[in-house]
Amino acid sequence: MSKQTKVTFISILFLLVAAADVYAVISQTKIIEMIFKPLLMTTLVLVYLAAVKKPNFWFVSGLFFSFWGDVFLLDKESFFVFGLASFLLAHIIYIKITIGFLEKDLTIKMVSSALPFVFLFAGVLYLIYENLGDMLVPVIVYGVTIATFGATALLNFRQEKSTPNLWLLLGAILFIASDSLIALNNFYTPKHFFDIAIIILYIISQYFICKAMIAKSDLTWKSQELPG
């Protein structure tokens, strides 16, 4: 089986798993969700490993912590904080990876890149503040972290407007949108529509980030193979 065939096959498998998980959320069938939710990041990491010559340890680690975030959030009432912590670590790793792509002193652009995400975080915090209670500090820490991920991804795209950087930026934005809806769903006004939007945005965001990492890996190898 050729590399491209293998990547295509596993990508289709990921799509089927994603479709099953979305269906489980829409139909509110917990048993199906419990089966397919843990398979999301499992199949996505297989897509990544099949597509690249040299896997990025940090990205695989980010998917690992995302996997545990998915597992913990299957039981939000008991393990919400553990899920939050797992995704916090995943975001920190994604920030580390994105910062590694930055090549110039972009301090001024960093400030302007952060503003949209700071405003979004402030808006969500304003809506949910009264209902946070003991979760205030963890939510603020998490909010600052995801805003930082968004800011670094936007800064990276402004530095080099390439397709891989666009995928990374879109992945960051959709991840932040998904997390923002989780906050609203848990601490403002629970809606089944939010549950559906959260999982769809999350799946697409992780897929875009994975595509960006695969493309970045391909570019690295091509540059190494150039003579001289």
What pLDDT, in 10s, does the model give residues 146-171? 999 999 999 999 999 999 999 999 99
Total domains in the chain come to: 1
Q: For residue 228, tell me if it sits in a domain.
A: no
For residues 175-199, one letter each, b for 16 or more C-beta atoms within 10 angstroms of the residue's C-beta and e for the rest, the string is bbbbbbbbbbbbbbeeeeebbebbb
Q: For residue 203, tell me if it sits in a domain.
A: yes
Residue 47 has pLDDT above 70, yes or no: yes
- pLDDT confidence of residue 224: 53
- Residue 219 Rama label (left phi>0; alpha psi -120 to 50; beta): alpha
Q: For residue 226, tell me if it sits in a domain.
A: no
Q: For residue 122, tell me if it sits in a domain.
A: yes
Which amino acid appears at position 56 of this protein?
Answer: N
As a whole number, mean pLDDT of residues 7-27 equals 96
pLDDT band, very low/low/confident/very high, at 222 (cuts 50, 70, 90): low
- pLDDT confidence of residue 108: 72
Q: For residue 56, tell me if it sits in a domain.
A: yes
Q: For residue 72, tell me if it sits in a domain.
A: yes
With the C-alpha atoms ordered 108, 113, 114, 116, is the resulting torsion angle positive or negative?
positive
The tally of CA atoms less than 13 A away on the side-chain side of residue 156 is 28
Which pTM was predicted?
Answer: 0.92
pLDDT band, very low/low/confident/very high, at 226 (cuts 50, 70, 90): very low
Q: For residue 41, tell me if it sits in a domain.
A: yes
How far apart CA 112 and CA 101 sit, in angstroms, is 18
For residues 149-163, one letter each, b for 16 or more C-beta atoms within 10 angstroms of the residue's C-beta and e for the rest, the string is bbbbbbbbbebeeee
- pLDDT confidence of residue 228: 46
Token reading at 220: 């690295």
For residue 107, give its domain range.
3-221
How far apart CA 51 and CA 219 sit, in angstroms, is 13
Higher local confidence (pLDDT), 222 or 77: 77
Residue 66 has pLDDT above 90, yes or no: yes
Q: For residue 88, tell me if it sits in a domain.
A: yes
What pLDDT, in 10s, does the model give residues 82-97? 999 999 999 999 999 9
Q: Which of 204, 202, 158 is nearest to 180 (CA)?
A: 202
